Amino acid sequence: MTSPVRRLQMIVVFTVIAIGLSWPVARLNSQAQPSIALVVDDTGSMFDELSGVRDAVKRRIDELAAIAAAQGTPFPMTAFITFKDDVTTRTISTDPAELKSVADSLLASGGGGCPESSVAALIRAAQILGNGGELNLWTDADSHHDGAGGFNDDDALTNIITTKSLQPRFLVSDHCVPLEGGAISEGSALVAKRSANHDPDGEALQKRALRGSAVPSLDTISPYADEDSIATFSRIASQTNGMFVFIPKSSLSTDDGRTAYANTTANMIFTTVVPSVMQVTPPSVPQNAVASVEITGGNTNFQGSSVVTVGGSGVTVLSQSVTSPTRIVVNLSVNDAAALGFRDVTVTTNLGAGTTETATGVGALQITSPPAVPTVLGISPSQIAEGTTADVTITGANTHFANGTSTVSLGTGVTVNNVVVSNATALTANISASSGALASMT
């Protein structure tokens, strides 16, 4: 049975974040500090990703600018930061035209060897953001990991996020792996991307040496030195109540993969400004299937009056259970005639006093063809805290789950206490996540 499940305290990495681009309840407020930070890896191997970032950021800016103009309020102050081995603040602005110009100027080039200074870039962004600000990251590489006080100090980043109640969203598409001879490159790039993201003249190494002489413990004595990008950013997201999504670089060779990446990019930014659907887990359900999906909102007030709808025909909401103001578990039925493609997911909530909150995730759910082999579609809820025990629902397609014969494995650090099968495609597992459980593929 194929499983796309990735775990850090039960984080599911095939999840695609999808955040609403339509909202009747907007909160565009002038701030003395930036409320949004866009932190972008612009190394050579990010060529495919940056195309989606450029287009989606500009689209999102246009939509928010129209709302700001209609309300007579300033556009939210936004910081635009890029990084390779070094970190560059491109602009801090409330001017949509300037922000779009920076987005247009994003070019995938250079970068020296993998890893890069993603943690350092996030620290810079976190330092300038106002309390409660939104911290967005796009990368395909591991971060450098320095000891305490270093340029890329993971714990310093986590502390800033927590102290300032920031809202991190991380979109990762690859990680570094050792190459023959000990060099490092992005995992799926290897040969094709190697020349674009490596520096045969050693310029990056010179920069690294200069940086190392100015800060302590460069790439040394960090407890996270062996982590890849997926482990690092899923861990930080879990520690800070943030969002993590993994879209494999290999998927960007397909139209659906590029659409998913662009939708995710457009939907993950400016979520602190408006109530939004931030995540649907799993992000795809095949035709002729019944599945349990978890909807995660940002700045939402989900409650008993909330109503979930999926755009288009052929998808029916069978039931829903609100577990918190930002989470709803929904049972969906997709008939065999449902059109393939991406669907908007909307949650409408009557807040009383004549106020209705509408949170939409554009392209949040993809309807796919039925799989040819038994496949795990997803786990709900998509994460549990380390050191806790919880029930999770596992949904499959073309599966034959049965009590007494079906077993569940979720990798090192997660104990499956018992399994109860509901039907051939759904079961509930009671699981315990140990303290310090690490991210892994299973």
- Answer yes or no: do 375 and 284 share one domain: yes
- Indicate whether 251 and 314 sit together in one domain: no
Which domain covers residue 424, as residue numbers? 277-441
- What pLDDT, on a 0 to 100 scale, did the predictor assign at position 356? 95
Asked whether residue 84 is domain-assigned, the answer is yes
Give mean pLDDT, residues 414-433.
90
The stretch 248-252 carries a mean pLDDT of 91
Token pair, residue 382, equals 């998509």
User: pTM of the predicted model, to two decimals?
Assistant: 0.79
Give yes or no for a cis peptide into 282 (omega within 30° of 0). yes
Instruction: Note every long-range contact of 313-316, with CB atoms under 8 Å and residues 24 or more positions apart, other chains counting.
Output: 313/338, 313/339, 314/287, 314/338, 314/339, 314/367, 315/285, 315/343, 315/365, 315/367
Q: What is the pLDDT of residue 188?
A: 40
- What's residue 19's pLDDT? 31
CATH assignment of the domain containing 355? 2.60.40.10
pLDDT of residue 183: 44
Tell me whether residue 126 is in a domain: yes
In a domain, 297, yes or no: yes
We report the CATH number of the domain holding residue 202 as 3.40.50.410
Residues 78 and 221 in one domain: yes
Which of 204, 235, 268 is at the close of a domain? Answer: 268
Amino acid at 415: T
- Ranges 327-336, 376-385, 425-434: which has the least confidence: 376-385
Confidence of residue 410 (pLDDT cuts 50, 70, 90): confident
The reported pLDDT for the residue numbered 358 is 93
Q: Are residues 245 and 363 in the same domain?
A: no
Whether 378 maps to a domain, the answer reads yes
- Indicate the average pLDDT of the chain: 81
Residue 233 tokens, joined: 């950013």
- Residue 210: is its pLDDT beyond 60? no
Co-location of 216 and 349 in the same domain: no
Q: What is the pLDDT of residues 315-329, one digit of tens each?
A: 999 999 999 998 999
Mean pLDDT of 243-250: 89
Measured distance CA(193)–CA(411) in Å, rounded: 31
Q: Are residues 175 and 291 in the same domain?
A: no
**pLDDT for residue 12:** 34
Residue 354: pLDDT band (50, 70, 90) is very high
- Per-residue pLDDT band at 430 (split at 50, 70, 90): very high
Same domain as 260, residue 373: no
- Whether the predicted pLDDT of 197 surpasses 70: no
Q: Are residues 46 and 67 in the same domain?
A: yes
Query: What share of the chain in percent tops pLDDT 70?
Result: 82
Judge whether 153 lies within some domain.
yes
283 and 234 assigned to the same domain: no
At 21, the amino acid letter reads: L
pLDDT in tens, 262-285: 888 888 888 777 788 888 888 899
Which range in 70-74, 293-297, 345-349 is most confidently predicted, on average pLDDT?
345-349
Residue 202's pLDDT is 36
With beta carbons less than 8 A apart as the criterion, state whether 235 and 439 touch. yes
Q: Do 257 and 292 belong to one domain?
A: no
pLDDT of residue 32: 81
Higher pLDDT, 180 or 66: 66
Residue 21 lies in a domain: no
Q: What is the mean pLDDT of residues 72-90?
A: 93
pLDDT per residue as tens digits for the range 21-60: 233 333 344 458 999 999 999 999 999 999 999 998 998 8
Model confidence at 67: pLDDT above 70: yes
- Give the whole-angstrom CA distance, residue 401 versus residue 407: 9
Q: Please give the pLDDT value at position 186.
A: 47
Within-domain flag for 239:
yes
**How many domains are there within the chain?**
2
Residues 299, 255 share a domain:
no
**Residue 328, in any domain of the structure:** yes
Regarding whether 203 and 81 lie in a shared domain, the answer is yes
Q: Return the number of other C-beta atoms located less than 10 Å from residue 139's C-beta.
A: 30
Dist. CA 349–CA 88, nearest whole Å = 41
Last residue of a domain, one of 268, 287, 314: 268
Choosing from 222, 238, 268, the residue where a domain stops is: 268
Separation CA 415–CA 7 (nearest Å):
13
Average pLDDT over residues 181-202: 37
